[in-house]
């Protein structure tokens, strides 16, 4: 009986020893599993943070390019104004017929130049419309090489602005979509990522399309004057 009890004790010891080994192995597995989960979560957070940051600065970069294109077009306006005022300085009679009633009261080319300088405070599209209206009434000005070169630069600038606006909206779309979908919305809220609005064009036609309309209006006005 005693021998039987000693065997049972030995078996129990082996059993407990095996269970302890299994528990230790399980503990190690759980520790490694927790470490892997933590690393995966950290990696996921870093990935989405970097992704949102990349898309955010893509938007910022696209906006800067758009503003740069707009500024380039704005920089051309003073050159155009100077070109027009220099050209019409000695032909103010023809020039007066191309401008509105308030400016028709001017009687000196110097006053015309001052009026165009004041026009520089208006929106760029309106100034370009005005310059195009003047050019339509001034064939020599319209066909001059310097003026054509300047207008080509303005047209190229308009095309570049349109291109940059489209690119900006595309970048905003990618960024906004990523922020709106799970789990990007959680990380966007967690790290307080800003939102950007799409560029929306005004209902008013932009130059050069508006310049075409102005041409028709000027022609219509001339017909009325003849009547």
Q: What is the pLDDT of residue 9?
A: 72
Q: Measuring CA to CA, which residue among 116, 216, 208, 199 is closest to residue 158? A: 208
Are 127 and 120 contacting, i.e. CB atoms less than 8 angstroms apart?
A: yes
The Cα 87–Cα 139 span in angstroms is 11
The Cα 69–Cα 40 span in angstroms is 43
Per run of 10 residues, the mean pLDDT along the chain (length 227 residues) is 56 80 91 95 95 96 94 86 74 51 44 54 73 78 85 91 95 95 93 92 48 40 46
CA dihedral over 197, 202, 207, 209, signed as positive or negative: positive
Helices (H), the chain: 2-88, 92-96, 101-104, 109-119, 124-136, 139-143, 145-180, 184-190, 209-226
Structure tokens belonging to residue 50: 């970097």
Q: What is the pLDDT of residue 126?
A: 75
The region that residue 205 occupies, defined by phi over 0 for left and psi between -120 and 50 for alpha, beta otherwise, is beta
pTM over 0.75: no
Q: What is the pLDDT of residue 36?
A: 96
The Cα 58–Cα 74 span in angstroms is 24
């Amino acid at each position: 009986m005693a021998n039987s009890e000693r065997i049972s004790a030995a078996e129990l010891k082996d059993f407990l020893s095996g269970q302890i080994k299994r528990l230790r192995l399980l503990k190690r597995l759980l520790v490694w599993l927790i470490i892997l989960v933590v690393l995966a979560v950290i990696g996921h957070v870093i990935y989405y943070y970097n992704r949102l940051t990349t898309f955010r600065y893509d938007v910022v970069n696209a906006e800067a390019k758009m503003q740069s294109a707009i500024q380039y077009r704005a920089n051309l306006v003073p050159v155009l104004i100077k070109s027009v005022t220099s050209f019409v300085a000695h032909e103010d009679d023809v020039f007066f017929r191309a401008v509105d009633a308030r400016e028709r009261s001017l009687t000196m080319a110097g006053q015309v130049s001052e009026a165009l300088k004041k026009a520089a405070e208006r929106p760029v599209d309106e100034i370009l419309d005005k310059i195009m209206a003047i050019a339509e009434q001034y064939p020599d000005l319209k066909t001059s090489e310097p003026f054509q070169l300047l207008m080509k630069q303005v047209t190229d600038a308009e095309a570049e602005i349109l291109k940059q606006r489209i690119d900006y909206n595309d970048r905003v779309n990618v960024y906004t979509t990523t922020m709106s979908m799970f789990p990007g919305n959680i990380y966007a809220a967690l790290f307080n990522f800003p939102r950007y609005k799409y560029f929306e064009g005004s209902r008013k036609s932009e130059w050069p399309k508006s310049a075409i309309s102005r041409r028709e209006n000027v022609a219509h006005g001339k017909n009325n004057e003849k009547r």
